[in-house]
């Protein structure tokens, strides 16, 4: 499959696109859950916790089940409940990234990508294309995955990392903002994801879109997007 004429940048999802879903759900999420209380209780983490806890406190206050009477703390049970529900909470994503950072630094965690990803990143860069990442995980979490793979540090191939600070992944405006950040119009972007609702948003923003079907990915509803199972299929 040839990249559409005029495309100057490729924007990639992570989970189920560059990286196995099993790595996220069977490795990363359990690690964060297992080390949550220890991380929160370590006084050495005070500075690293400041922004995640600020965000989480704002979310806690806005939660209709709790409200402002909760005071100025975030119960650990609330954070665990966000994990249990796989909520795309910005505060939670920041916190998870900090916990994972310790795991990567200790060598306990290693980033995982599909075998076709590193050569594709090299191929696209050699062709003069920008590559960016857009994921619900924090920018830090994204950088940690690509910075510690079996193929080495892949961040050298990636020009930008975007998280939901630019907006929700099912909102067309998010893709317009990413295009603007990359100095391009949306029609110059190709977005690749394993979720059709995200592709719908990118398409509505004017981007080209491709569905990536990997082992373990969730089935998607009927659609008209080009489909790949490997980045090797994209010339």
Query: Where would I find the beta strands (DSSP E) of 86-234?
Result: 130-134, 160-162, 189-193, 208-212, 227-228
Phi, psi (deg, nearest 5) at residue 11: -110, 125
Note the pLDDT of residue 73. Answer: 60
Note the pLDDT of residue 59. Answer: 85
- Kindly report the number of other CB atoms within 10 A of residue 76's CB atom: 12
Range of the domain at 136: 9-19+111-233
Note the pLDDT of residue 5. Answer: 84
Q: Please identify, among 76, 105, 134, the residue that sits at the C-terminal boundary of a domain.
A: 105
Q: Please identify, among 60, 82, 105, the residue that sits at the C-terminal boundary of a domain.
A: 105
Note the pLDDT of residue 57. Answer: 84
Note the pLDDT of residue 1. Answer: 85
Note the pLDDT of residue 70. Answer: 46
Domains in the chain, number: 2
Residues of the chain predicted below pLDDT 70: 64-73
- What CATH number did the domain enclosing 143 receive? 3.40.50.1000
Of 58, 66, 65, which Cα lies nearest the Cα of 89? 58
pTM of the model as a whole: 0.92
d(CA 123, CA 217): 25
Phi, psi (deg, nearest 5) at residue 186: -55, -35
Structure-token pair, residue 56: 């989480």
In tens, the pLDDT along 204-218 reads: 999 999 999 999 999
The answer to the question of residue 86 being in a domain is: yes
């Amino acid at each position: 499959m040839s990249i559409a004429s005029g495309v100057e940048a490729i924007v990639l999802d992570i989970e189920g696109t560059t990286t196995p879903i099993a790595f996220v759900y069977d490795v990363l999420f359990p690690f964060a859950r297992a080390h949550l209380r220890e991380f929160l209780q370590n006084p050495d983490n005070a500075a690293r916790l400041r922004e995640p806890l600020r965000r989480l406190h704002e979310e806690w206050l806005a939660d209709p089940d709790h409200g402002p009477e909760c005071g100025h703390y975030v119960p650990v049970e609330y954070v665990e409940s966000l994990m249990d529900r796989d909520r795309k909470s910005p505060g939670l994503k920041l916190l998870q990234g900090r916990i994972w950072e310790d795991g990567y630094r200790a060598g306990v965690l290693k980033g995982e990508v599909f075998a076709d990803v590193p050569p594709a990143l090299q191929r696209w860069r050699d062709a003069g294309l920008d590559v960016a990442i857009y994921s619900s995980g924090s920018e830090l979490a994204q950088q940690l995955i690509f910075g510690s793979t079996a193929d080495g540090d892949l961040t050298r191939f990636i020009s930008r990392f975007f998280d939901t600070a630019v907006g929700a992944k099912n909102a067309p405006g998010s893709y317009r903002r990413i295009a603007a950040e990359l100095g391009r119009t949306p029609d110059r972007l190709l977005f690749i994801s394993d979720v059709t609702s995200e592709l719908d948003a990118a398409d509505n923003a004017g981007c080209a879109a491709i569905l990536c079907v990997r082992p373990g990915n969730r089935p998607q509803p009927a659609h008209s997007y080009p489909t790949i199972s490997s980045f090797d299929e994209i010339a």
